[in-house]
Each structure stands twice: as C-alpha cells, then as structure tokens.
Amino acid sequence: MTDTTTPPRFSDVFDTEVAGRWSAPGRVNLIGEHTDYNDGFVLPFAIDRRTTVTVGRRDDRLLRVASSFEAGVHEMSLDDLDPASMSGWSAYALGIAWALSVARDRADSPSFAAAGGDLSTIDLSAVPGLDLFVESEVPVGAGLSSSAALECSVAVAFAELWALDVNRSALAAVGQLAENEAVGAPTGIMDQSASLLGRTDSGVFLDCRSLDADVVDLGFAAAGLEVLVVDTHVEHAHATGGYVERRTSCEKGAAALGVDSLRDLDADDLGRAEELLDDETFRRVRHVVTENQRVLDTVRTLRTDGPRAIGHLLDASHVSMRDDFEISVPELDLAVATAQATGAVGARMTGGGFGGSAIALVPTEARADVEAAILAAFAEAGHTAPTVFTVHAAEGARRDA
Ligand code: GLA
C-alpha cells in the first residue's frame, strides 16, 4: 500500500537494484556576477543544500528519470539522445547524457579546451541504461543554482557508472553545454564549477578563461560570521529575460573596443570605453570591468585581512549591479539595504538577477536582528515575505552511498 502523503522513493518507481547515490550542491556566488561569460573571475561557494540522485543500472539502453517533486517518469534511449525532445526539469538530467555523447566533437570549444583531458575516450555507444531518482533541498528559482546541482549530481553519477575518464572541469563544461543547448539557457560556467569544485568553508576562485580554480579559505565561522540568504521569491527568467540582453550588450561592448572579451579590459580602459560606447553599453562594460577587479580584491583581502574586511566590496558589487548592470529588483535592494543598516558586514544580490536571492555577511550575534528587520521591511513595503536562512560553504559533488 502506498502512503500518498509521503513523497515517492526510488523503489516506488523503479524495480532495478540501486547501484549508488550521488549528490551535488547548489551555490551562492560571493562575488563576481555576470563575469563568467566574459571570461572573467568569480568567487562562488558550494552550499549545504544538495540535490541527490539515486541510480539503478538497467540491462537495456534506456535512461529513465523520476523525482520526489513531480509525478511521472521521463524516458529516452541512449541511442536516441536529442535535446529538441527534452523538456521540463528532466532536460537537465537527460541533457547531461546528451552533452557527454557530443563532448568529443566539442573538444575545441573554449570550455572543453580549457578544461583539458582527453575527451576522445568518452564513448556512450555501449554503456548501460540507468534509472535515476532525483530529490532536492535546493530551492528552485532562488538564484542558488538548483539546475547546476541537478546537472552535477547526474554528471558525477554517469561518470562513475560509465567509467568515463573525465576531469571535474570538463564535467563542468558538460553541465554548461547541457544547460546551454538542452535547457536553452545561455549561461556561463560558474554554477557547475562551484557545484563540482566546492570545498567545506572555502570559496572557488575561478578564472573563467583558463578554468584555473583556486580554493580560497573563507574563514566565516572562525571570524564569527554567517552568510544569510534572503530568498525574495521573485522569479527570474534566464532564458527569456534580461540575461540574454546583458550578455549581448557585453559582446557588443567587447567588439566595439576591439577585444575578445571584457576580461581583456581594466579600469584604465574605461575612459576610452565611455567615449566610444553608448551610455547603456558603457555602464554594462563598467560593471564587468569593476566586478572582475572586486573579485581579485576580495580574494586578496580574504587572504590578508580576513572576511570582516570584504564588506565594502560586497556592497560596491551590489551598487554596480543595481545601477550599471541594472539586474536588481526593489525586493533585492530592500533586503540589501536593510541588512546593511542593521549590522551586516556587507550585502549584495547573488546570481543572475531579476529576482532570486540576496546574501548578507552578518556577525552571528546580529543574525536574529538582521532577519527580523528584513521581514519587517518587506511587510512594511507590501512585498511577499522572503525566506531567510543561513548557508555554509560545503563540499562539492560526491558519491554518498
Ligand atoms: C547565472 C548563470 C551563471 C552566471 C550568473 C551571473 O547564475 O547560470 O553562469 O552568469 O547567472 O553571474
């Protein structure tokens, strides 16, 4: 007898034997927003909210995908992987199989080339089908990369069960390819990198051009600090929304200034940029150029002076996103301003923007006051009540069982 009040489990849906369980985290971006697709720098960390996939090995070539959050089974043959016929949440999982199947042909693309490793050995022509059951603690639409958590949990499961010789940077590129072409969101490589490379109490300092990744000790707990996430419940729309427009503006700015990407500019180029570009494009360019510098400054400051010294960089990043890149919304601005006014060391919106979450770096003793003030400010402004919670920097994708 099935108890309809409890969500289904692997064995309620599939009759294959469980071969293992893998998980991958969502991420918070500490700083470095909209810099990844400009070949720039980012400093995200993996969070202690994970997506878990339980997998059974089949004796045919079918991939079957089910979840605890939606009824039904999505199914596709490994001999017939086609992004055009993937839809809904299962595209994130099935898209990984498709991206792995074409990785060899994409070896020259910037992400795969930078990731290195020998992609020629990735061959899915004889691997077994799998049953996948997905559960997730990463809120959807909160700007915390529930999509990357799903992609990366599935990617590490596939890599292990199919014995693929593929490094984690290449797996991040696989995740990005799935998101770009199976899901249809033209995102960069930050989220998958954070989910795959994250370490406890650490940030992932990533050069999105070379894909060189450095682990940076965040030291929040030792400094008596916590990261509060304020999920505004305002929904963002990457694929159709302003994300594409922002990306296009950046490409336009780079082309007009004669560089491959905005990564190739620094503060000294901004005078020339202002002369050459229309005001809007100039402000988009200025955000990316100054944000790259803020990432470098944040990494240096964390290493020399510790996390209490990075607040002004977080604050400045928010101003730049609000005024130059114009990706904030009133709810995010209110969360940030209220946190700053009630004792946060620093605060900013995080992720792609147009909704989602803000983060505030707060002394533990101020946490309750900051949260109460934010809830009160939202009520006063007539906004939907946000969800406020603490996150810790956690380990990246792994096998759990
Ligand atoms: C989304 C994308 C990332 C990145 C951020 C903005 O999260 O998935 O690739 O571009 O927006 O920094």
pLDDT tens digits, 314-371: 999 999 999 999 999 999 999 999 999 999 999 999 999 999 999 999 999 999 999 9
The ligand 1 site (C-beta within 6 Å) comprises 29, 33-34, 36-37, 187-188, 190-191, 351-352
Each residue's pLDDT tens digit, 181-232:
999 889 999 999 999 999 999 999 999 999 999 999 999 999 999 999 999 9
Q: Stretch 139-149: mean pLDDT, rounded? A: 94
Which tokens hold the place of 17? 């034997």
Count the neighbouring beta carbons within 10 Å of the beta carbon of residue 376.
Answer: 12
Nearest atom in ligand 1 to the alpha carbon of residue 34 is: 12
* Helices assigned H by DSSP within 135-237: 146-161, 168-177, 190-197
Per-residue b or e along 275-294, where b marks 16 or more CB atoms closer than 10 Å to that residue's CB: eebeeebbbbbbbbbbbbbb
Give the Cα separation of 288 and 290 in Å (integer): 6
How many residues does the structure list for the chain? 401
* Alpha carbon nearest to ligand 1 atom 8, residue: 187
- Pocket mutation for ligand 1, best pick of 38, 47, 190 (most atoms within 8 Å of C-beta): 190
How far does residue 318's CA lie from ligand 1's centre (Å)? 15
Closest CA to 231 of 138, 116, 337: 138
Residue 236's pLDDT band (cuts 50, 70, 90): low
Which amino acid does the sequence have at 183?
V
Closest residue CA from atom 9 of ligand 1: 188
Q: How far apart are CA 25 and CA 398, in angstroms?
A: 9
Taking the centre of ligand 1 as the mean of its atom positions, its distance from the CA of residue 50, in whole angstroms, is: 18
Instruction: Report the separation in Å between the CA atom of 336 and the middle of ligand 1, taken as the mean of its atom positions.
Output: 19
Dihedral sign computed on CA atoms, order 249, 250, 254, 260: negative
Which one of 28, 33, 36, 349 would you pick to mutate in the ligand 1 pocket, going by the greatest count of ligand atoms within 8 A of its CB?
A: 36
Reported as a pLDDT band with limits 50, 70 and 90, residue 85 is: very high
Catalytic residues: 191
* 47 DSSP β-pair partners: 393
- Strand partners of residue 222: none
CA of 37 relative to ligand 1 center, distance in Å: 8
Q: How confident is the model at residue 239 (pLDDT cuts 50, 70, 90)?
A: very low
373 alpha carbon – ligand 1 mean position (Å): 29
- Ligand 1 atom having least distance to the Cα of 143: 7
> What's the pLDDT band for 4 if we cut at 50, 70, 90?
low
The whole-angstrom separation of Cα 137 and Cα 50 is 5
* Ligand 1 atom at minimum distance from 185 CA: 8
Tens-digit pLDDT profile for residues 94-117: 999 999 999 999 999 999 999 999
Please tell me the distance from the alpha carbon of residue 105 to that of residue 397, in angstroms, as a whole number.
25
Residues 6+ apart with CB under 8 A from 349: 33, 143, 318, 321, 322, 327, 328, 332, 335, 336, 356, 357, 358, 359
| pTM for the model | 0.97
User: Tokens 């990984």 identify what position?
Assistant: 96
Instruction: Report which secondary-structure segment, H or E, holds 229.
Output: strand 225-231
Tell the residue nearest (CA) to atom 5 of ligand 1: 352
| Mean pLDDT computed over every residue of the chain | 96
d(CA 85, CA 72): 16
